[in-house]
Structure formats: C-alpha cells, structure tokens
Amino acid sequence: MVTKVLIAEDEDSDNLGIVSKLQKFTNAHIDTAQFCDKAEIMIKRGLQENLPYHLLISDLSFIKGHKKHKIIDGKQLINVVKQAQPEIKIIVFSQENKPAIIKSLFENYNINGYVCKGLYGLQELIKAIDTVIKNDISYTCPVAKEALHQNNILQINSYEVLILQLLAKGYKQEEISQHFIINSILPNSKRSIEDRLRKLRDEFNAKTNIELVVIANKLGLIS
Amino acid sequence: MVTKVLIAEDEDSDNLGIVSKLQKFTNAHIDTAQFCDKAEIMIKRGLQENLPYHLLISDLSFIKGHKKHKIIDGKQLINVVKQAQPEIKIIVFSQENKPAIIKSLFENYNINGYVCKGLYGLQELIKAIDTVIKNDISYTCPVAKEALHQNNILQINSYEVLILQLLAKGYKQEEISQHFIINSILPNSKRSIEDRLRKLRDEFNAKTNIELVVIANKLGLIS
DNA sequence: TAATCCCTTGTGGTTTAACACAAGGAGTTT
DNA sequence: AAACTCCTTGTGTTAAACCACAAGGGATTA
C-alpha cells in the first residue's frame, strides 16, 4: 500500500500519535497540517506538482487561534478539497459521535470513511485506510455505526434548526416571528412557530422548550 | 529528570502521541492506562511495591465502554489517587477549557498542573512536567490561563446548578419547587426559584431561561 | 369541479413565567 | 434595643407560552 497521505489535525498530541502509528503500518508518505488553510494549500500544491495526495485524514474541529483562518473547520476543508480533487479519499477521524453530524458527512460531504477517536481509534483508522484504499469502499467504525443506529435519528430541517438556534440565543417566540418576517422566511407567524415547537417537543420527547434545546444541543443539531 | 510516570488517557491516538513525545524528552519510566480503574490499580501497586509513581498525567473524560467501571472520569480518579498517595504530582491534560472546571480542579482537587490539548499541547505538557517536578510549583498552560481570565468567572453554587439542571431536564418552575420540598432543599418556594433565575439571567446576561441554560452548558456549569 | 389533505394563520382561553411591591424572619451593626 | 441588611415568601398584575378550534390557501386526487 504505497500512498501519499495528508493528516489534518490541530492537536499536536493526536497528530503525533497518528503519524507514529501509520509509520508502523504503512510505508506511505505522510504529511501533516495543523491548520485547515495549510491543508488546502498542500492538497493544491500536490495537484500542481502532479504528486497528488491519495488520502486525507481530517479532524472536524480545529482550534480558533488568534490568526484569522479562511477555513475554520473540517467540513469546510472537505468541501474545498473534494472540489479541487474529487477523486481523493477522505477519512474523518474525530471524537464527534453525534449521529446527525456523521450522517450528514456521508450524505452531503461524500466522505469515504468515518472513525471515532477512542479506545481503539488508531486500530480502526488502519482498518479504514485499508478498506477505503484497497477495496475502494467506504468504512464506518463500530462506534460511529452504533451512534448511527441509535434510536432512529430524528431529522429536522434547517427551518426548525433556525428556530432552535434563535431560542438558544435568547429570542422570544414573538421575536423569532419578527426576525422571520424581516428576513422573508416562511412561515413566520408566531402561531406557526408555536406549532413547530410543539411538534419538535413531541418528536424529541421534551417537556419544555428548554429541554428541547438541550437535547438538540446534545445531538449536535444546533451550532 | 528520572521519574516514574503514569498516563491515564483513553484515546489510543492521544496516548501514543504523549508517549512518543515524552520518550524523546525524558528518560522516565512511562506506563499507560486506558481506563481509570486500571490507573488506580497501577498507582496502588506502585505503592505496594515501593516503586511509587511520581507523576500522573490524566485526561478528564473517559469513554463509557460496555464494561462497567468503578471510576468513570478523571475527577474521580484524581480524588482516589490523591487519597492513596497524597504527595503524587498530577497534571491534567485535557481539551476541556471551560473556566469553571479548570478552576475547580485546582481549588478542589489539588492538581499540580493543567494543560489544554491543542496546537502546542505536547510542548506545554513538557513545560508543565518540568515546572511541576523540578520546581515543585503548579503550572497552567497559556490556553487554560486565558480561559481562566476570560470575563470574570461567574460563581454559582450547587443550589443554583441544581435549578439549572432540573430546568434542562424539562422541569417547570412549579415542579422544581415541589422537588425541593420533597427533598428538603431550601429555599423551595416557587417565588424563590423565580428570583434565583432572574439573578442568574442578570449575571450571565441571558435574556431567557433557555439562553441561560445554554450558556451554563457551554461554561461547563451543569453536568 | 368537488373532495381531500396538509400547512398556515387567527381567535380566545388557559397555563406558565416574569415582575413589582411588601411583609416577616434571621443575623448584624450601631 | 433599635436600625439595618439580606433573604425568603406571598399577593396581585402583566407578559409569554401553550393549546383547542376553526377558517382559508394551495396542492393532489377522484
């Protein structure tokens, strides 16, 4: 398995751990980037020099440093990279285990593998690389699979997400209505917002809107 | 710097990264534990065999696996370890940067150092080890310091935390009052709970109770 | 075209939460 | 002891949220 691999991971401890492990199991050429912007540049340089990367292993969350970055998280990085080099394989290696997020990465970001950091994260990462590169099929680690299979993932659309986000920011229902009217978002009556919230409370089994927002937060549905 | 070090860290990628780095910078004897229970046993065995560990580097959050564990997080581990071996040095190495939690670790858990995982986490960890072992003074990494200095950390007591936790669990204010009456927690009138919430909204600059609970969540004040 | 369904919105009434005012208790200061 | 402060609690009012009922619009179907 000879490949050229880029690791995008901000935490130096994780970064070093991944590299140490990969060096034992592959003879791949391994580069690392602690910032998304740097990762993007390296991918594009690889293309220019006709030595493209075959695999990107990327984290999702990157520390917001003092410098301003164009690309601030793994999702954006994946978008940019897939656009520049559609055939590249991407494995996400993150501690994130919220079902909504993992699902969205496969469905909307066309990633090739997902591995949750954890007890056996590195072992799973090796498996994922094998599966994705050798067999050209996608890979989901057991932990992520379990998260995905946990009690039917509740789908909520961006309209509903927005309501919950505004609630979380301290908007009252009347203010949400006003906000929707100003921003031409429909439906925008106070009454309709009430209705959505009732529906959401039902779906998520929340007794109050406070509990609803807390649950949505835990599931990674808002911000 | 010859020491015997134990690393308690569940994620194998981090674990390997820390070990790789330490081996470059020290000739210390390094052991690792991926579970708190195992860490406790190793510490106690070290004492029994008269070869005690000098330093524990511990994460805070540990994955809840399928096995049941007696000790489920770093805080509990620290308590147990300090009780068994009061003179041991403890450095927490975690991505946690919520001020309330870091502050509490120094004040209530007597840790000797705190380093946030991040861009330069390992470098900081080396510095922390140096400072704690050689100079016998505590160390807080810059990221954690910044977190601690961010707009005066708001202190809230366990009574207030409980109100927020119950709100987050879907209790209404009247129900919280009932809960307090049943459990002999004072004050327990609906009116008093109202008052505390107003005070908390003021302190945290929250417009609604929903925003209040979200903020408390972000600061690590509730669960 | 009429019948049907789904979604939005309005109305009015009930519950819950927010707030101003004030009485009473406990502890402190003068 | 009187004056004081701080906290708790009650009362009554207003605002916000919740909910049942129903009218109307748009799309689909018979």
Q: What is the pLDDT of residue B152?
A: 56
CB A83 within 8 A of CB A49: no
Band of pLDDT at residue B223, cut at 50, 70 and 90: confident
- The answer to whether residue A191 sits within a structural domain is yes
Q: What is the pLDDT of residue B151?
A: 54
Nearest CA in chain B to A93: B13
A211 close to B (CB below 8 A) = yes
Are residues B94 and B17 part of one domain?
yes
Q: Is there a contact between B170 and A208 if contact means CB atoms under 8 Å apart?
A: yes
- The answer to whether residue B193 sits within a structural domain is yes
Instruction: List the single range of A154-158, B7-11, B46-50 with lowest mean pLDDT.
Output: A154-158
Q: What is the pLDDT of residue A2?
A: 60
H helix intervals, A26-157: 36-48, 74-84, 99-108, 121-129, 142-149
Are residues B97 and B70 part of one domain?
yes
Work out if B149's Cβ lies within 7 angstroms of strand C: no
- The answer to whether residue B83 sits within a structural domain is yes
Residue A56 scores a pLDDT above 90: yes
Q: Is there a contact between B119 and A169 if contact means CB atoms under 8 Å apart?
A: no
CB B72 within 8 A of CB B64: yes
Are residues A118 and A210 part of one domain?
no
Are residues A170 and A115 part of one domain?
no
Closest CA relative to residue B30, chosen from B47, B49, B55? B55
Instruction: List the single range of B10-24, B149-163, B180-194 with lowest mean pLDDT.
Output: B149-163
B 82-121 residues with CB < 8 A to A: 93, 95, 117-121
More confident residue, B58 or A157: B58
Residue A187 scores a pLDDT above 90: yes
Integer distance in angstroms from CA A164 to C1' D16? 17
Q: What is the pLDDT of residue B114?
A: 98
B115 lies in which domain range? 4-149
- The answer to whether residue B202 sits within a structural domain is yes
Are residues B127 and B18 part of one domain?
yes
Are residues B66 and B14 part of one domain?
yes
- The answer to whether residue A130 sits within a structural domain is yes
Are residues A88 and A67 part of one domain?
yes
Are residues B194 and B108 part of one domain?
no
Are residues B38 and B12 part of one domain?
yes
Work out if B190's Cβ lies within 7 angstroms of strand D: yes
Q: What is the pLDDT of residue B65?
A: 74
- The answer to whether residue B223 sits within a structural domain is no
List the single best residue of B210, B217, B223 to mutate versus A (max A Cβ within 10 A): B210
Work out if B123's Cβ lies within 7 angstroms of strand C: no
Q: What is the mean pLDDT of residues A111-139?
A: 96
Cα distance between residue B159 and residue A58, in whole Å? 42
What's the number of domains chain B is made of?
A: 2
Chain A residues with CB-CB distance to B146 below 8 A: none
**Residue where a domain terminates, one of A149, A178, A196:** A149
Residue B214, domain CATH: 1.10.10.10
Cα-based torsion angle of the residue sequence B118, B122, B126, B132 in order, rounded to the nearest 10 degrees: 40
Cα distance between residue B214 and residue A17, in whole Å? 34
Quick one: how far is CA B103 from the chain centroid?
9
Q: What is the pLDDT of residues B89-144, one digit of tens each?
A: 999 999 998 888 898 899 999 999 999 999 999 999 999 999 999 989 999 999 99
Work out if A149's Cβ lies within 7 angstroms of strand C: no
Give the torsion sign (CA, B31, B35, B36, B38): negative
More confident residue, A14 or A101: A14
Q: What is the mean pLDDT of residues A196-204?
A: 93
CB A60 within 8 A of CB A96: yes
**Residue where a domain terminates, one of A105, A128, A149:** A149
Cα distance between residue A189 and residue A176, in whole Å? 9
Integer distance in angstroms from CA A186 to C1' D23? 20
Are residues B15 and B113 part of one domain?
yes
Q: What is the mean pLDDT of residues A214-222?
A: 89
Q: What is the mean pLDDT of residues A12-17?
A: 97
pLDDT mean across residues, chain A: 93
Are residues B126 and B201 part of one domain?
no
Q: What is the pLDDT of residue A140?
A: 97
Nearest CA in chain A to B66: A143
Beta strand pairing call for B29-33 and B55-58: unpaired
DSSP B180: H
Q: What is the pLDDT of residue B1?
A: 59
Distance from CA of B81 to the nearest CA of A (A): 22
Give CA separation, A108 vs A79, A102, A129, in Å. 9, 10, 21
Q: What is the pLDDT of residue B219?
A: 85
Chain B residues with CB-CB distance to A117 below 8 A: 11, 13-14
What does pTM read for this prediction?
0.84
* Closest CB from B16, B121, B214 relative to A11: B121
Q: What is the pLDDT of residue A151?
A: 54
Non-local CB neighbours of A160 within 8 Å, separated by 6+ positions: A196, A200
Work out if B223's Cβ lies within 7 angstroms of strand D: no
Work out if A191's Cβ lies within 7 angstroms of strand C: yes
Q: Environment class of residue B10 by beta-carbon count within 10 Å: exposed (0-12), middle (13-18) or buried (19+)?
A: buried
- The answer to whether residue A45 sits within a structural domain is yes
* Closest CB from A20, A93, A214 relative to B20: A20
**Residue where a domain terminates, one of A120, A149, A178:** A149
Residue B42, domain CATH: 3.40.50.2300
Q: What is the mean pLDDT of residues B36-48?
A: 97
Are residues A163 and A134 part of one domain?
no
Integer distance in angstroms from CA B164 to C1' D24? 43
- The answer to whether residue A223 sits within a structural domain is no
Work out if A209's Cβ lies within 7 angstroms of strand D: yes
Cα distance between residue A120 and residue B208, in whole Å? 42
Q: What is the pLDDT of residues A138-171, one digit of tens each?
A: 999 999 998 888 755 566 788 999 999 999 999 9
Q: What length is written for chain B?
A: 223
Q: What is the pLDDT of residues B60-85, one digit of tens each?
A: 999 887 788 999 999 999 999 999 99
Q: Is there a contact between A65 and B120 if contact means CB atoms under 8 Å apart?
A: no
